[in-house]
Structure 1
């Protein structure tokens, strides 16, 4: 049995080697601009972590722990799923996770890794809800509603930094083949990016409550499945924008898109702007704004 590090293949893989001795992880620390102690003499990884911990402030400690988790996640994807271990995607994932923690948009998801209610995160004195994008961005929320015999519904809503509705779209289709949630959600994201590009928006935060799709976008790798094909199209299209953030949210923070995905009659689509918001989502839009007063 080969016990060498599966990434660098230079030494026996131990927790201590992985966290501080492997050159690949060293590149991650450099990319995150974290100085880590490299002196010899540690017998256990805990001793090293405690030593490093003393030199960090609170923000660096959070970044360090998220970095460790993301590095181990990527290592496992390489070993068990034959995914590449490039540094840049891991650094981007760490930065995005840190942003989500700070903005309070990390929700809970079911064991299947797809869509679940989740508890979300408490914000502003125990209240939690949808938040407008930061300055210079628009935020697009998408959702797909799939039910056998009832077709597939797609819902998309785009809002500005004040929470105002810029545009939205909904459609319900009859699926000849058995519909699949992840592919439908990915198609909604593609349509959202396509519309944003057409309207000239260059900085987009894309929010979805489908973990499978968000993970595929964050850790993009080519594949031959239907989902991979749509994800590939999304990634290629998003290259025309200046900035795109893939954000995973709890379903309760994605209520407007959810309502739209279940609104449109079979075989029909609707589009609207701030002057023609459907009655079915008006109260939900106002409710989202109330969290930010």
Structure 2
């Protein structure tokens, strides 16, 4: 049965009216909690609740803001337990609860990072000798796109790069699918028997991995990609984040901006990670 409050005084301290600013800032128990968590710096007088919260989030680091939110949540949860369940915890116990929850969050984040790194390592070790990274840049106003293709050997060294302009492109997804098709065609032109095609469009990569007929708006392009699989002994498609596809992304954007297609061989990386052409085969 819920407790009915006869007055609006704080159940913890009984000193004054219980509004949100009192619960999270003024209550002596709350002040002790913030002190235990090394958050004494958040006390800034002559503020209302909204101004105080805005100030804290503007002053704190990302980690401090995250921990501060955990503290707010726990303080409110314990306030409700006292009100509705008559269960009271000391400020030190509440502080411990908050610290435990923060450690649990950090542990979960570390597990995600470790699992992501392990997955990328496994994916890298499974890749074949030849790989083509692809990306697209899209111009909505002019319905144009550019494909950026970067060819790498098993050591990850860039050995060729190609960019192509396309007209009458309906959407970014179409642009990505066209770039994937260009990658499959380039592998055949280079005489590859095995190839890994790698891009940062999860939708396009997933459709290329499937063997069933795609009925979406880019289904015809996906069908063209699927039809080229028979010309390889083995072809595989991998998704990577945009941050790991910078060369193809930069090539596509530069081509769309400047309007000049190109095909380069003997690429290497500069000290800044940019592509440097050793030998220009053709420029269109």
- With the length of structure 1 as denominator, give the TM-score of the two structures: 0.48
The structure having more radius of gyration, on CA atoms, is: 2
Give the number of the structure with larger relative contact order, counting CA–CA contacts within 8 Å between residues 6 or more apart: 1
- With the length of structure 2 as denominator, give the TM-score of the two structures: 0.49
Q: Specify which structure has the higher proportion of helix.
A: 2
